[in-house]
Amino acid sequence: MTLADVEKQSLLEQNTSEKDTSMQSKGKTDGKSTIGMYKLAVKRTFICILASVVFGLCLYFSVSPEVSQEFFAGWLLEQSLSVDNVLVFLLLFDYFKVPLENQDRVLKYGIIGAMIMRAVMIGLGSVALHHFQAVQLIFAGILIYSSASVLLSKLYNTLGGYVEANVDKEDMSKNQVVRLSKQLFHVTDKFDGDKFFVFLDGKRKATPLLICMISIEFSDVIFAVDSVPAVFGVTNNPLVVYSSNIFAIVGLRSMYIILSKAASDLEYLEPAVALVVGFIGLKFVCDYLNHRISIQISLIVVVSIIGIGVILSFWSKNRKLKNKMQQ
């Protein structure tokens, strides 16, 4: 081996060592950044829950105990329904390959859009219920149909001998919401930090970040078709309906990073929420027939069913882990 070859080999080893050191340093930085995001998410979640509880207590002392109970029932119901939103967010972020550090920006703008859209839908729903009592039956039909669809799907999956988690992921490229979003703008596949638009070849083009945000907004409108009537089943007070929606939405955005890891483990939460939605649908029918179900009973039913769903989910997860360890 010549002296030149020795020098080349030495330089190559030095460059390789520098690259390995750089990658290790980058990995540590990314790890610290992720941990920092989780800590921030936990703090935000605590603040959102505390703010919701304080608001509910303010209603208790300044308005009435019944209104406070209506708020807590509606907030808990909305928060539970939001778990489905998290799963859709995960699919959209994965499809558009949105970096974790940019997801928070999408969710922040999503809050603003959701506040506006929920205000419009709740306003229209409140006016319709006030002037047309038969709207209760329409809301009841939407909720009972939604509940039955989820429960029958779960039953079919169970009898079919496979778990829903093993079903192939939805192909988001064929999703109508995603396709519609892409038709609204000239789109590029390239990200530019957290920007929604970039200029390429003299043209203003939307980045995947903007299309992802629009898709999330459309998805939120679709979910609101179920969630808004559900809260109207708890109370007809527009303030309570809107405030419970907003606190749940803000809480969802804060808890997203946490829930994104836990949502797949809560396998019994979805059918539990479906049962609650079905109960609210039947409550609409009872109200229409002048057989009112008290808010106390509604709150007990909501808390009990959702609590059982969460407990069963963790029990099932622990059982699967034990079986896996024994194999």
Higher-pLDDT residue of 213 and 256 is 213
Give 201-239 as a 3 state SS string: CCEEEECHHHHHHHHHHHHHHHHHHHHHHHHHCCCCCHH
- Residues 147, 274 contacting (CB under 8 angstroms): yes
Return mean pLDDT, the chain: 76
pLDDT value at residue 84: 67
pLDDT value at residue 228: 84
Distance CA 231, CA 239 (A): 11
Highest mean pLDDT of the ranges 161-170, 241-250, 312-321: 241-250
Cβ neighbours around 260 below 10 Å, total: 17
Indicate the pLDDT class of residue 283, thresholds 50, 70 and 90: confident
**Percent of the chain whose pLDDT exceeds 70:** 76
Is residue 4 predicted with pLDDT exceeding 50?
Answer: no
Maximum distance among all Cα pairs of the chain, rounded to whole angstroms: 98
Kindly state the average pLDDT of the residues 196-203: 81
- Residues 216, 94 contacting (CB under 8 angstroms): no
Is residue 224 predicted with pLDDT exceeding 90?
Answer: no
Kindly state the average pLDDT of the residues 132-150: 83
Q: Hey, is 130 helix, strand or coil?
A: helix
Is residue 318 predicted with pLDDT exceeding 80?
Answer: yes
pLDDT value at residue 97: 84
